[in-house]
Structure 1
Amino acid sequence: MVAPPRCPNQENFVSFARQSLQSFFDLGISTKRCRLRSRLEVNHRHDVFPKIQFHLKQIWRHQIVAILANLKTAIALLLLIALFSILGTVIEQGQTLDFYRNNYPEHPALFGFLSYQVILAIGLDHVYGSWWFLTLLILFGTSLTACTFNRQLPILKASKRWFYYTKPQSFAKLPLATEIVGGSVSSLSQSLQNKNYQIYQTGDRLYARKGLVGRVGPIVVHASMLLVLVGSIWGSLTGFIAQEMVPSGDTFQVKNITEAGIWSERQVPKDWSVRVNRFWIDYTPKGSIDQFYSDLSVLDKDGTEVDRQTIHVNKPLKHKGVTFYQANWDIHAVRFTLNNSPVLQLPVSKLESQNGGRQVWGTWIPTKPDLSAGITLITPDLQGTFLIYDEKGNLLNTVRTNGSVEINGITFTLKEAVGSTGLQIKADPGIPIVYAGFGLLMLGVIMSYVSHSQIWALQVGDRLFVGGKTNRAQVSFESELIEITNQVTSQVTAMAM
């Protein structure tokens, strides 16, 4: 047979087909390999991530939480908080730069290092609102929480679980144990009821306990301290402190805020104001200040009086969460007449006298229209007496309130000295939380003093095995257990007779 004629490109075509089939085959193998590698990588990730999570949990539980729950950590944090609180009490808070520069100079620095630069750099001028003090409070609260969940709650859960002793040998493990020949579980049960024990009894076995609330006490103490910390932090974040110097008769709104939390805007009064009706000072017979008072009225946005109180030191005015304290005073102005003029008012300035640095107030009053002559009025207080000096500093006369004197042909009549009340204004929404925390703290301390006492009993034939333990007041519990066993012994003796 004659072979059929071949196409000129047949060999090339066959070669191309073989290469295509081989490429397709190789592609399939590569695809399978890629899929297999992807599956292996996914499986590897699935294997690695749980291991990482497991190790992180182990580090958190056994290292970080253990450190936070450690008593030494809590004590160290508490000591740091106490130290900085003392510094915040000793170092004046919220004062001006000039105040710190004058009272805490760089040379010589207090204790060799405490200068105004250090105070301002660290934030010792506003300790209780500084970020590092709030961080200490948060860390201490975290430590208390970790201790509560890591130690106190497990102790409480263990205390709530109870069991019977089934072998006499088990009583040897107890710190207090005895054996009563002829005693019975029923007679012991009656004596325990008289001592307010909670009794569990099954046949010849008995378990009794009381004072479980003593195990709850430490948890309540921790919760109360957390409340105090939360209240302190909340007050720092939402409260503010302001200072106002207001003359008698003026109405004001809180503007001069010296310290404020980041969320304090809602606490600042906006729809009501305060009017200073009058400010006055009571003096002792020796001339020293006895007490100073401010008659204040609270006005709504329409100017209607909604409250009125007279405040003094340690008796503030409280309205809508804002407290007004009597903190300082000043002399604002003097009112007077010259001859038959209407009542005039001039401001007075605070001066420093040369004899011992005593504070005085003074003003200059012209006695001629061209201001070429005048008198100087000086007073050391608000008792109403002014000293009158001429241009050369010579004392001309003295004048009291509503009194008149002749000076250079002019009748000068002193009407009054206008005082200003210095008010410190505070808003601290965290105070109710802090008070609640302290109340709960007292309750928790009382609860913690309650002893958690446990008693076991097992009757084997005519022998009654009794034992017990307590977590505190060991001597008192021992006396109580002896009294209970003596009652059972007395019953056995009485029945034998």
Structure 2
Amino acid sequence: MTIENSVPKKSIWSAFGQLLRQELLPVLTDLRLAIVMLLIIAIFSVTGTVIEQGQSLAFYQANYPEHPALFGFLTWKVLLTLGLDHVYRTWWFLALLIFFGTSLTACTFTRQLPALKAARRWKFYDEPRQFQKLALSAELDNGSVNSLTQLLQNQRYKVFQEKDDSLYARKGMIGRIGPIVVHIGIVTILLGSIWGAMTGFVAQEMVTSGNTFQVKNIIDAGPWATALPKDWSVRVNRFWIDYTSSGGIDQFYSDMSVLDNQEQEVDRKTIFVNSPLRYRGVTFYQTDWGISAVRVRVNKSPIFQLPMAQLNTNGKGRIWGTWIPTKPDLSEGVSLLAKDLQGTVLIYDGTGKLVDTVRTGMSTSVNGVTLKILDVLGSTGLQIKADPGIPVVYTGFALLMLGVVMSYFSHSQIWALQKDGRLYVGGKTNRAQVAFEREMLEILDKLSLPTQGEEKAVAIEPHSA
């Protein structure tokens, strides 16, 4: 005979719920924990801003070498191991956001909502001694509850009256709702951030003027990225740069068209820095520029378009170059260099000697041939982002600001009791104590206006709340 002792499932869940309420909830709703978590999130957010995100391995190896290590410990290996190259998509950063959001949610349900529910209840005082517990109280020889009612309503109080001898009034309930809206706003921001990190992507493209492209050079993407363009493409109609009178860059522009899968234009915009193109949740930012090619003619040959590559100048400026053969067997040629799109091209022979300086549309004789520079083609550098969580984040910020404004409203309460020929009045507020005292004095002054031949005497007695 076997006796099997088993604990009912209901008892297990009851014990688990009790453990959750007694042990976990007090920790989750601790204000100190929320502040510490908020500081940690802020620190790692700053880290994600300072450390370049989504770059190549070679970039981190060059900028965060092992010898010497930055701050003595931060090397490219440490950086990649901790995921500091994509902070906002690491499991530990997302876990911080989730934990912080859980803490705010628990605080809302265990503290803020019960406090709001308690504030919505009204109760009446039936003993004079109860008024001694209030922050402010007064005892009047004249006046009545009915006359006080009208005065309070004039001050926008909501009045609850029991018969003709007891009264409770309140205003500023919106101030009690404000902290809850603040919590909802912060949690909404966290949810939007998580959603954007999991579904968004970042790409970079360098596109020659006149070319059409699809977004393919993805440098960072969430595991659930869904906004990748598949049935549409973008054409760079023209790229150009405006220069200042001193030769510096004033602004660079890209005239761009969005094409559907039949290559029909569905949108068009000229973008520049801080004025991007947005289409179907994807944003195209103007971030860089370059020289992609030069178009030349040798004697009466067809037009050649030769690519130009950026040369290493050891940080002494940007310059692009290419090599053009001047003989059919490629035994001789000249080098072309350009530093901007203003049309000036430097021509060097095989020994590195400057042969000539020409502008676009001009010709020169070199190595027995006539070389004509027709055009220098620029390329636009685009950073392409999609973050489906941005509308959610903006909504959260709107709620946050609304909640902060609502929290500035004072929640004021006033009680009154008429007993044994005397009127007892008292009240309290959660902020703006001085303003509340002035309001109470004004109400009591009107309430206790003396009759003819009498002197007025009203005293408010403050108590510790």
TM surpasses 0.5: yes
What's the CA shift string for 1:324-364, capped at 9, x where partnerless?
Answer: 1111111111101111222111111111236x532211011
Offset at residue 46 of structure 1 (A): 4.2
Equivalent residue runs for 1:94-113 within 5 Å: 94-113=54-73
**Residue number among 386, 389, 414 corresponding to 2:348 in the alignment:** 389
Offset at residue 50 of structure 1 (A): 4.4
Match of 2:165 in 1: 204
Most deviating of 283-292 and 49-58:
49-58
- 2:122·2:160 contact (CA, 8 Å) conserved in 1? no
What's the CA shift string for 1:38-75, capped at 9, x where partnerless?
Answer: 4xx3xx4246x444333322221111121111111111
Partners of 1:88 and 1:137 in 2: CA distance = 15
Match of 2:95 in 1: 135
Partners of 2:86 and 2:279 in 1: CA distance = 25
Match of 1:410 in 2: 369
The residue identity in structure 2 corresponding to 1:360 is I
Match of 2:451 in 1: 493
Offset at residue 237 of structure 1 (A): 1.0
Partners of 1:46 and 1:288 in 2: CA distance = 81
Match of 2:437 in 1: 478
User: What RMSD in Å do the two structures reach over aligned CA positions?
Assistant: 1.5
What's the CA shift string for 1:278-328, capped at 9, x where partnerless?
Answer: 111111222221111111000011011111110011000001111111111
Offset at residue 234 of structure 1 (A): 0.6
Match of 1:7 in 2: none
Q: Are 1:427 and 2:372 an aligned pair?
A: no
**Residue number among 209, 215, 223 corresponding to 1:262 in the alignment:** 223
Match of 1:245 in 2: 206
The residue identity in structure 1 corresponding to 2:98 is I
Match of 1:164 in 2: 124
Offset at residue 409 of structure 1 (A): 2.6
What's the CA shift string for 1:244-285, capped at 9, x where partnerless?
Answer: 111111111111111111111x31111111001111111122
The residue identity in structure 1 corresponding to 2:319 is V
Q: Residue 328 of structure 1 aligns to a residue in which SS?
A: strand
Partners of 1:358 and 1:263 in 2: CA distance = 40
The residue identity in structure 1 corresponding to 2:205 is E
Partners of 2:229 and 2:453 in 1: CA distance = 81
The residue identity in structure 2 corresponding to 1:146 is A
**Residue number among 396, 399, 404 corresponding to 1:440 in the alignment:** 399
Q: Residue 378 of structure 2 aligns to a residue in which SS?
A: strand
Structure 1 gaps of 5+ residues are 1-33
Partners of 1:404 and 1:485 in 2: CA distance = 97
Q: Residue 196 of structure 1 aligns to a residue in which SS?
A: coil
The residue identity in structure 2 corresponding to 1:446 is V
What's the CA shift string for 1:144-179, capped at 9, x where partnerless?
Answer: 001101110111011011100000011011110001
Partners of 2:109 and 2:254 in 1: CA distance = 51
Match of 1:227 in 2: 188
Instruction: Select the structure of larger CA radius of gyration.
Output: 1
The residue identity in structure 2 corresponding to 1:313 is V
Match of 2:330 in 1: 371
Match of 2:174 in 1: 213
What's the CA shift string for 1:110-159, capped at 9, x where partnerless?
Answer: 11111111111100001111111111111110010011011101110110
Q: Normalized against structure 1, the TM-score is what?
A: 0.89
Structure 2 gaps of 5+ residues are 456-465
Normalized per residue, the structure richer in helix is: 1
Match of 1:15 in 2: none
**Residue number among 7, 16, 19 corresponding to 1:56 in the alignment:** 16
- 2:128·2:417 contact (CA, 8 Å) conserved in 1? yes
Match of 2:48 in 1: 88
- 2:214·2:232 contact (CA, 8 Å) conserved in 1? yes
Equivalent residue runs for 1:64-83 within 5 Å: 64-83=24-43
Offset at residue 243 of structure 1 (A): 0.9
Partners of 2:128 and 2:32 in 1: CA distance = 41
Match of 2:463 in 1: none
Partners of 2:453 and 2:396 in 1: CA distance = 55
Number of equivalent positions: 454
- Relative distance call for 1:495 and 1:293 in structure 2 (3 A) is farther
- 1:183·1:462 contact (CA, 8 Å) conserved in 2? no
The residue identity in structure 2 corresponding to 1:389 is Y
- Relative distance call for 1:353 and 1:182 in structure 2 (3 A) is closer
